[in-house]
Amino acid sequence: MTSYPSAPPPGQPGGSDGGSSPFGTPPPAAGQGWAGGSPFGNAGTPVPPQQGAPVCPRHPDRVSYVSCQRCGRPTCPECQRPAAVGVHCVDCVREATKNVRPRTTVFGAKVQPGARPVVTITMIALCVLVFLIDMVDSSLRQAFTFSPASGRIEPWRMLTTAFLHAPGSFGIVHLGFNMVALWFTGPFLEQALGRIRFLALYLVSALGGSVAVLLLTPLELWERGAVGASGAVFGLFGAVAVVMLRLKMRNSSIFSVIGMNLVITFLVPNISWQAHLGGLLTGAAIAAVYAYLPKKLQQTGAIAGVSAIAVALILAAVIRYGMV
């Protein structure tokens, strides 16, 4: 058996008289921080770090022994950002981001890997929605279908007709073909050109298809309407061909698809070959502006080039109407 020395008598050092600790250390006074008392003191607020301890510049009440690899300042866990070696503070990460130039494609669009083709999805959704509404109420089609005769009074029909499709089984096939073609070409072009350029390509190609209908339709057939997104879709066909040539991508299948669709356009009845041809040429012209502009002029030049093509189409329509 092992014996232990007896505790000192009360009143002597190490005793238990007067509230002293039986182990010889007096209890800490209330609010003295971490030395046995509450770490929040009397008021329940954090106790300031010990003098000389490294603290986070953004959170001075937090001690941190981890330093930023760029600026060397202490950084708390909330302000730490993983880096290739060690960590960086949020301030250094923000400053580095400002100095990094965003990567762009050959055509001047920001590189956004994995970005959703928002414009493509929106165009498809609008065409499908309008078709469903038209099945319930045909007045929508009657109000927005383009014909050379109606376009003279309501020129906006040149664009609205690109979101309409004929009713019935033929219209379903027509809609399905156009939407599949749009889905196969749209995301590629939207990623390469950027959303704004792609939207301009789509809309101006639709306008080009309608203007071609106006210019190439005999006067006695001006009352005949033309609906469908085919003009815009053929504009995407033409743009894909130009973009692939610019990127030197060897893919003969796209040219085969374009040729096959042109053949179908002229062989199958009740198809507006004028809209297909006009959209194809307009889309190719716009894509050429995007693809072959000098790098310094990619932003302003694209706006000027597409605007010039749109103005030329409008002037052609005005001149044609003025000849009647």
For this structure, is 174 an active site residue? no
Are the CB atoms for 175 and 131 separated by under 8 Å?
yes
Of 88, 165, 174, 276, which is the active-site residue? 276
SS3 sequence of 105-169: CCCCCECCCCCCCHHHHHHHHHHHHHHHHHHHCCHHHHHHCECHHHHCCCCCHHHHHHHCCCCHH
The rounded distance, in Å, linking the Cα atoms of 7 and 10 is: 9
**Could you give the residue ranges of the DSSP H alpha helices within the chain?**
90-99, 118-136, 139-144, 148-151, 157-160, 168-193, 195-216, 230-247, 252-267, 273-292, 298-322
For this structure, is 59 an active site residue? no
Of 150, 205, 230, 272, which is the active-site residue? 230
List the one residue out of 103, 99, 119 whose CA is nearest residue 111.
Answer: 103
Mind telling me the catalytic residues?
Answer: 230, 276
